Amino acid sequence: MAIKEGLRPGGRSARVQESIHSAVRDLLQEQERSTLTVPQIAARAGVTPSTIYRRWGDLSALLADVALARMRPDSEPANTGTLRGDVLAWAEQYLDEMSSQPGRNMLRDVQSSTLPIYCATIIGGQLQAILDRYPDQPKPSVDRLINLVAAPTVFRILFSEAPLEVGELHRLIEIALSQ
């Protein structure tokens, strides 16, 4: 995995990365992902293919990085004023995003790279931000929330005929909050 961590925001390296990410996003709007090639992305981004190979190693690592950057939320999870409300809002948005076609593609891209462990880290960070808002309330651990809410959401998308129903999502959240 050759993604450089700690890029200086606004630096040359960050600008190159952003132009490559944006080329991938544009091309994915225009054509099937299976037809995407590194030289094509490089041409659109105005860099050489070797810039891409040097930084990401291969196409699947680049696609996974773009997918993860999409998943990384721009803002804090919604603040509804209650723990239950915040978890509900987060979980419903997560279910929506993951069951969409871009969400399904992301789940697949990330797995075929060495990045999947960042998924649980990103989700954990969002849920921790919610829990930290309510320091004086009894509440489940982040891991328990991931196991009871995020895991069934993703499992049903990947391995079942239909996504998790919102009613069952709500019941799983009640179970998580009542432990």
Residues that bind a copy of itself (CB under 8 A): 108, 110-112, 116-117, 119-120, 143, 146-148, 150-152, 154-156, 158-161, 164, 168, 172, 175, 179
For a copy of itself, which is the closer residue by CB, 35 or 178? 178
Rounded CA-CA distance 179/156 in Å is 23
- Classify the phi-psi angles of 10: left when phi > 0, otherwise alpha if psi is within -120 to 50, otherwise beta: left
Give least dist CB 116 to a copy of itself, A: 5
Rounded CA-CA distance 72/119 in Å is 9
Q: How many CA atoms lie within 13 A of 154 on its CB side?
A: 17
Give least dist CB 173 to a copy of itself, A: 12
Rounded CA-CA distance 169/90 in Å is 11
For a copy of itself, which is the closer residue by CB, 134 or 155? 155
Question: Which tokens hold the place of 67?
Answer: 């997918």
Helices (H), 74-165: 83-99, 101-111, 117-132, 142-145, 151-159
Give least dist CB 103 to a copy of itself, A: 13
Give least dist CB 20 to a copy of itself, A: 25
For a copy of itself, which is the closer residue by CB, 29 or 159? 159
For a copy of itself, which is the closer residue by CB, 55 or 156? 156
